[in-house]
Amino acid sequence: MAPSIFDRLRLKGKVALVTGASSGLGHRFAEVLVEAGAAVAVAARRTDRLAGLTKAIEQDGGRAHAVALDVTDPARIPAAIAEIEAKLGPIDILVNNSGTVVSERFLEHAEPNWDKVIDTNLKGVFLVAQAVGKRMAGRGKGGSIVNIASTAATVANKGTISYNASKAGVVALTRSMAMELARYKIRVNAICPGYFVSEMTAPYLGTEAGKEYLARVPMRRAGQPEELDGLLLLLASDAGSFITGSCVVIDGGETLDRA
């Protein structure tokens, strides 16, 4: 008898790395992966924010390890991965979640701010995925890479030009990675969220402009972090074993009339 869908969604014996795990969606992703049975490495520049997360996971009987990681620093990434694998074992799942945004209109967008966003949101995804992918390929047992993109990859938003460009790049990168890494049994997919309640989005969503924006979303609200749980587990687990190169939009219908 084939394993049930519930068994295939389990991650027992797997090791996952979540970047940008110090807050928001990354924090939630780590909790979900642990709940499904994985040991989880949580990475961020703000390691003080990771301490509480790892403590809570361990108190609940899970395995976690916090590591300082700036995804824009190529010299740091191999050492961070080696540290994770020494503590938890080889990485089976990577969730590339680190991201930032600068709100400036195109004509006023400063080059240093452009570089900051592109380096974090796109180059950082490339650097971490390449380093982890090499190890996955070398072991020959496959793995899953989940890149966090955005609906901003496919629709135009004012005032976030570098963010939009970076997330479009993540979508293209995801598809190219999936094509090249399939031979190594490594699946690569992207999640493209619309507006979800998080530390990054809360200031905007609380404004009149934010409320007006949400009023135009067919479901008339922002997403809650837990509404990404099922999709994350599908892409990370054996339940999604034939899914690769997909960029899945989850936005309450936000982009239906903007494509």
DSSP letters for 141-157: S-EEEEEE--GGGTS--
Q: Is 60 within the bounds of a domain? A: yes
CA distance 133 to 97: 16
Residue 40 lies in a domain: yes
Q: Is residue 157 part of a domain?
A: yes
Count Cβ atoms below 10 Å from residue 130 Cβ, excluding itself. 12
On whether residue 254 sits in a domain, the answer given is: no
pLDDT, residue 58, reads: 96
Distance CA 65, CA 57 (A): 10
Eight-state DSSP code of residue 196:
B
Cα(101)–Cα(109) distance, rounded to whole angstroms? 12
CATH number at residue 160: 3.40.50.720
For residue 197, the enclosing domain spans 5-249
H or E, element range at 68: strand 64-68
- Which residues, 6+ apart, have CB-to-CB distance to 114 below 8 Å? 102, 161, 162
pLDDT beneath 50, residues of the chain:
none
Count of domains forming the chain: 1
- The verdict on whether 184 is a catalytic residue reads no
Give the model's pLDDT for residue 140. Answer: 97
Residue 259 domain flag: no
Considering the domain boundaries, does residue 256 fall inside one? no
In this prediction, residue 259 carries a pLDDT of 56
Given this model, what pLDDT does residue 217 score?
Answer: 93
* Rounded Cα gap, residues 44 and 199, in angstroms: 15
